[in-house]
Chain A
Amino acid sequence: MESTGCYDKDLNLEATELRLGLPGTDQTEPTTNKRSIHQTKEEDQEGGSKVASSKAQIVGWPPVRSFRKNSVQPKKNKAGTEAEASGIYVKVSMDGAPYLRKINLNSYNGYDQLLVAVQSMFRITIGRHSEREGYGGSEHAPTYEDKDGDWMLVGDVPWEMFTRTCKRLRIMKGSEARGLGCGV
């Protein structure tokens, strides 16, 4: 097996691209496939992100049936379907604030962490959730729009169900909020 030698260190995507045809017809070496493979190996030793980019260019790899790829993948775009890496970003608006914010629901373990973050983001106090009184005593009530389009009080349903069904958040203020605080 030939030694790795000194290969081009910068991210020469064209040379490492694993295309369907022979890579690089301008290369003079007969075993052009082999060269691209070794460069890929070199990349892999350098770091994860480069591997990901050359991986993404290979048609039909990894060899997972398209049906399975289409089934397990697109769910990532639906709110709250998996517990791992990618985020569930929802808009957060507060009555009276000049612009909206966006948060990643996946970065919180539960309501406590979410409310701490929201309170800090908007510099407000919301207080604790109680089944009977909602956020009684607070000027603000955190609400969310669910899959059915209804505005619900944050905190009533289990966290997973919330992340799955929440489309956007709205911090209600003033009299509207106090109305919600009476737990209707």
Chain B
Amino acid sequence: MNYFPDEVIEHVFHFVESNKDRNSISLVCKLWYRIERFSRLRVFVGNCYAISPERVFARFPFMKSLFLKGKPHFADFNLVPDDWGGFLYPWIEYMARNKVNLEELRLKRMIVTDDSLELIAASFANFKSLVLVSCEGFTTDGLAAIAANCRFLRELDLQENEIEDHRGQWINCFPECHTSLVALNFACLRGDINLAALERLVARSPNLKSLRLNQAVPLETFHRILVRAPQLVELGVGSFVNDPESEINDKLTSALQKCQSMRSLSGFFEVTLSCMSAIYPVCENLISLNLSYAPEIPGNELIKIIQHCRKLQKLWVLDCIGDKGLKVVADSCKELQELRVFPFDPHGVRNGAVTEEGLVAVASGCLKLNSLLYFCQQMTNEALITVARKCPNFIRFRLCILNPTKPDAATMQPLDEGFGAIVQSCKGLRRLSMSGLLTDRVFHYIGSFAENLEMLSVAFAGDSDAGMLYVLNGCKKLSKLEIRDSPFGNVALLMDVRKYETMRSLWMSSCEVTMGGCRTLAKMMPRLNVEVINDSGDLDKHGDDNQVVNKLFVYRTLVGPRKDAPDFVWTL
């Protein structure tokens, strides 16, 4: 490679798509660093406060696609106050001012405003793709600006955002001529939508492959859309409610049968059960099915649907599927790779409808399973050990027992051995979330065996600092560690402070770290932002070292303390 001209090296780099690989390439020598940075088109910033827009674009001047993440993961569960941070505007403002040729923007857990969306629409002539996941702070007016001005828009994908719905005519704002839309997902919008405008939009979007409707779209409209767009590959149904005697049902069945390319189905926010059989023919070719927002489909109907889904690779359901339903999944879905079972009734009297039996059944039947999110009533070590043996290919294993400190349901022992078996057997495990009664022993297992672990989520676990230390010492590839309600304190926090510069972030809430520990950490490691989040107002900023810090967020950064922190967030 030393004797090749730069253009040839650049051409070779062009085929390297993974940013992880590109980061490694950049470290080889100065020449490769230089060539790589000019050829990187897609930039990923895992923590928007680790770097500034200026430095990103200084290094990657030809960037066209940006993926930014804001708030820490526990913000999903209301542990991070709303105005903690993660503002998009400064990034857009910089890019607009410096004429960056932005084409794609993907955001997760950021505060997006209508101003930001309007600025995007006004500044980037080639803007093609906007994907927002778990964001908030904007309204349908911002969407209208994007629709109206981004002439080459291919993708508008809104996943689980909190959007203030002004019930305006944003869907009307797309250009009147043919659009280039390939993917449109507005399932998370809660308000009404102009149905006629929606149908017209579908009619003039010949490239549309993915369409996810919100609850306000009724069956009649859905049927007309299907007739217009039989080429759809991904479909999110809105409301599937109809009078079963109506003639629409036959029409719907035949329209669905014409959708030969359909591979992914979701939605079904409301259903008329007797109409569900219309979807069975489509099920045979499905590779992805998300019924986790369909509370009206009971277990026995879910079973009927799943029996048809022989090619399914990804399944998201509510726990009303029951252990019984999971056994049907195990028998029918031999290609299954990802399973997520969500609690239908998280705070209800019923403690969750699936148990270790369902999990063992799926692990026994679906040998390609590699990604799991499972909310259940109870678990046993024996079940976890069986799962570990049958499915050594897990990359993501997230188990949530609804009662967070529940022991093994059969033996009343902690679940250390079960999770220990998982980390020992699944050598490729990158992400792990645990729950149940857990002692320091499980952390010893994790530190000893989880060589590829990148993200660990801990809640109500462990006995002492030793637990956290096992993980920090053992998991060489650890990038994100988030801990809540566990007895880890300053000793664990301060034992190996340099470790945190090798990680993206550390979150600790309701643990035993104190102001003294945090101050020491901040002093020893200037390239970390040590943020104490005092939203409860209990702490005194200049007070005693012994004050216990309720919420701590530590992350590496190249740009020092952030300037947009609210007054209850202290960067020490």
Contact = CB atoms under 8 A, between A and B. Distances in A.
B415 to A, nearest CB: 12
Interface of A: 1, 18-22, 31, 33-34, 37, 40-41, 44, 48-49, 51-52, 55-56, 58-69, 71-73, 75, 81-86, 157-158, 160-161, 164
B405 A81 contact: no
Contact of A160 (B273, B406, B414, B485): B273
A45 to B, nearest CB: 8
Contacts of B375: 62, 64
8 contacts: A1-B413, A22-B548, A41-B437, A56-B347, A64-B375, A68-B292, A82-B296, A158-B244
Interface in B194-233: none
Interface residues of B, number: 63
Given A34-B463, A158-B272, A82 B295 contact: yes
Given A31-B487, A33-B486, A81 B270 contact: yes
Contact of A21 (B241, B351, B486, B538): B538
Contacts of B74: 60
A34 B437 CA distance: 10
Interface of B: 74, 76-79, 134, 160-162, 188, 241, 243-244, 270, 272-274, 292-293, 295-296, 298, 318, 320, 342-351, 375, 400, 402-407, 413-414, 433, 437, 439, 457, 459-460, 463-464, 484-487, 509-510, 512, 536, 538, 548, 550
Given A20-B510, A21-B550, A55-B347, A60 B402 contact: no
Contact of A60 (B78, B406, B548): B78
Contacts of B318: 72
Nearest to B437: A41
B404 A58 contact: yes
B160 A62 contact: no
Contacts of B298: 83-84
Contacts of B406: 41, 44
B274 A55 contact: no
A66 B536 contact: no
A19 B345 CA distance: 22
B513 to A, nearest CB: 11
Contact of A62 (B241, B346, B486): B346
A67 B295 CA distance: 15
A83 B349 CA distance: 15
A85 B437 contact: no
Contacts of A60: 74, 77-79, 484
Nearest to A158: B244
A83 B344 CA distance: 11
A3 to B, nearest CB: 11
A20 B433 CA distance: 20
Please name the 8 residue pairs, one residue from A and one from B, whose CB atoms are nearest each other, closest first. A60-B77, A67-B160, A65-B76, A37-B405, A82-B295, A33-B487, A60-B79, A83-B298
Contact of A84 (B320, B404, B487): B320
A100 B512 CA distance: 56
A158 B274 contact: yes
A6 B67 CA distance: 54
A164 B271 CA distance: 11
